[in-house]
A and B are shown apart, each in its own frame.
Chain A
């Protein structure tokens, strides 16, 4: 597979380390989190495989384009609009979580609107770029940030303060009934593949997706889940772990780099994760704008021969984000994102039915092009 495909998958996994996924998992640390993680790896990898195989059949085609060909208007217009909402909310969750983090840890005296606005401004212009440009931005920022983030993880794994006894203690909670919320939170990590709905436009070449590629995704997902769940436990203990509102922030604050420019790893971690969060919001919102473009035919809205339609969703995005960032509390954010993940568990496997339908219709179309 093209390396850009892996970027889509990896960013969705890695970006959520800092968002509410570990918090949800650790909240259920003695209530079936481990077994849910294992189950979600199986389910998630299956989903990624099915999604990828489907889109490989139609190189360069986005889901809205396929729907337009195979289904009728009353179905696909509302459907794509719902997709736009889902993608927007996914980006919004990352945005609000990160705004909360910044105001809590980096600049407590700055007005929250201003912080949120700075983040939005950097993302919002990315939403109207061309697809390939978005992918190149993704690659650039990945290359800049990932070595340092990997270094921080390595530092965490090799730290003397990481007590493996806690990790083993937590792992022994394996024989429990899986927990629904932890399952859906983990499952969300795998939904990076769903970005192909739009970004498949970029993958125009024929590509191979076999056993090796699947194993690679399995390895990445195990690594991400293991790191995001067990490292905080190793540093902060097992029993009091759900007291921490931002487990990963507290964990990076527990790592000390004696001989580095900044002793407190927390600030570096926040800064480099800002890059990853930026990418995650960019990808989600880019897809959301594309879905909206398709639903409302925004490219046809013109004013004095200039296309202004594609700019229309942006003020709405800004307004909704600013509204929620001021209204929501941390607990509500935690609760609502948990519900959001729960809903996605039903929607995305359901799409596979739609895919089989599209497959059949496309076959008919190919076999009888004249009709």
Chain B
């Protein structure tokens, strides 16, 4: 550094100091003076005047991991006329600063979602700059508070088990939908795509969570619950999972296909100004996981035929169900808009009509490659 002129030295020094000041994200507040929020739960309260109930799960600070063999959390809960009023009240219950920046999961109570309060909730969650837009958002059944207050068996300290369901790093099943806050916002605002939120339930006896259903939210419509099969089909179509299981029951054969690669393509085929067709192509590759009777390797083409028939039926059923009721979780509406110049598009109502009447052209390309370790 000796060779540099003093002015440059000064500049560099200032830059380093500036950097270190800005790197400390807590803005001059000691870390033991703030408490980190792990999850946020939003519910409807019993109070007429204060309709919102906010519950926060807070990490309880411990000296070291060795001492903390069990996960420790504390909870704050408050009703409020608005969400931020409840948060403001809670700040007076805690001796430390509530830090929302590390919260990774937002759970909405089922009732709250069905009350159609999405606008207010979103406004609160997005307006606060410290709430991450990459946090996951889910629906809690029967309510959000119970979900965040439950600590399942075998949970490790400092990392709530519930996160593992969504970060596609722990469990990967086709039954879990992962929705980030920014996706939720985007799909709620946009006409032409509807958002899907996972539903978290509690198995009371065994003390664990069950995440295998989802809730489809559409503008000006009742939320529609997707059961496990529909959820997995949605996941396969929207390319968010690679693995799936399909039960095949055809012509006396009864087996489960274990799909390890799913490729799907879907788009809108515009026939004329008011008529469209939905083209969906899916490739399913995998092997057989379980069968009720012995299988023969040379019969694989036959099994593939059966897989094709059965899965086309199931996928078609799903699409038809969505279409009939005017739900659009896959975003065909956006795909249509991506193909037609803005001044030649049909209006939203015309599009809904066309979408409901649209023909579905669905093909499955089956690819069972093996019968597993035994024939």
Interface residues of A (CB under 8 A from B): 30, 102, 104-110, 118-119, 121-122, 125-126, 128-129, 133, 137, 160-161, 163-169, 172-175, 235-240, 243, 250, 253-256, 258, 263-264, 266-267, 271, 274, 278
* Contact partners of B239 in chain A: CB under 8 A: 160
Which listed residue (A126, A238, A255) contacts B134, Cβ 8 A? A255
Q: Which among B69-77, B186-194, B210-218, B271-279 touches the partner chain?
A: B186-194
Q: What is B's interface to A at a CB cutoff of 8 Å?
A: 5, 7-8, 10-11, 14-15, 18-19, 21-23, 25, 27-29, 101, 129-130, 132-134, 167-169, 180, 182-183, 185-187, 189-191, 239-240, 331, 334-335, 337-343
Selected A-B contacts with CB under 8 Å, 14 pairs: A30-B342, A105-B130, A107-B22, A108-B129, A118-B18, A126-B11, A160-B240, A165-B338, A166-B190, A169-B337, A237-B186, A250-B182, A253-B133, A256-B134
Contact B335 A165 (CB under 8 A): yes
* A interface SS class: helix
Which residues does chain B contribute within 8 Å of A163, judged by CB atoms? 186, 331, 334
Given A137-B11, A168-B339, the answer on whether A254 and B133 have CB atoms closer than 8 Å is: yes
B341 CB contacts on chain A under 8 angstroms: 172, 174-175
Q: Check if B339 sits within 8 Å of A258, measured CB to CB.
A: no
Please, which residues of chain B bring their CB within 8 A of the CB of A250? 133, 182
- Select which of B11, B29, B183, B337 is within 8 A of A122 by beta carbon: B11
CB distance from A256 to the nearest CB of B (A): 4
In the complex, are the beta carbons of A172 and B186 less than 8 A apart? no
Q: Cα distance A267–B130 when bound, in Å?
A: 11
- Asked if residues B25 and A267 are in contact (CB atoms below 8 Å), the reply is yes
A292 CB to closest chain B CB (Å) equals: 19
Sample of 10 further A-B pairs with CB below 8 A, known A172-B341, A236-B186, A239-B190: A109-B29, A118-B22, A122-B14, A163-B331, A166-B334, A173-B342, A175-B341, A254-B182, A258-B169, A266-B132
Give the interface centre of B14, B22, B340, B341 by most chain A CB atoms within 10 Å: B22
Do A254 and B129 touch across chains, with their CB atoms under 8 A apart?
no
- Tell me the complex Cα distance, A175–B168, Å: 42
Q: How far is the CA of A108 from the CA of B127 in the complex (A)?
A: 14
* A282 CA to B186 CA, complexed, in Å: 37
CA distance A166 to B182 in the complex (A): 14
Question: B11 — which chain A residues lie within 8 A by C-beta?
Answer: 122, 125-126, 137
Q: Which residues of B contact A109 (CB under 8 A)?
A: 27-29
Residues of B near A167 (CB, < 8 A) are 338
| Chain B minimum-CB-distance residue to A167 | B338
Q: Which residue, of A109, A129, A169, has the highest number of chain B Cβ atoms within 10 A?
A: A169
List chain A residues, Cβ under 8 A from B133.
250, 253-254
Q: How far is B132's CA from A255's CA once the two chains are assembled, in angstroms?
A: 10
B8, B29, B167: the one within 8 Å of A129 (CB) = B8
B99 CB, nearest partner CB in chain A, Å: 11
For B187, list chain A residues within 8 Å (CB): 237
Query: Once bound together, how far apart are the Cα atoms of A163 and B240, in whole Å?
Result: 13
Asked whether B132 lies within 8 Å of A264 as measured between CB atoms, the reply is: yes
- Who on chain A is nearest to B13 by CB? A122
Q: Which residue of B lies closest to A114 (CB)?
A: B21
Top-10 shortest CB links A-B: A240-B189, A168-B338, A237-B186, A107-B27, A254-B182, A253-B133, A165-B334, A169-B337, A165-B338, A256-B134
- When the two chains form their complex, are residues B167 and A107 in contact, meaning their CB atoms are under 8 A apart? no
| CB closest chain-A residue, reference B97 | A109
Measured CB to CB, the closest approach of chain B to A275, in angstroms, equals 9
Contact of A274 with B22 in the complex, beta carbons under 8 Å: yes
Query: How far is the CB of B217 from the nearest CB of chain A, in Å?
Result: 15
**Across the interface, do B190 and A240 meet the contact criterion of CB distance under 8 Å?**
yes
- B240's closest neighbor in chain A, by CB? A160
Q: Which residue of B lies closest to A246 (CB)?
A: B129
Q: With both chains docked as a complex, state the minimum distance between the C-beta of B182 and any C-beta of chain A, in angstroms.
A: 4
B220 to chain A, nearest CB (A): 15
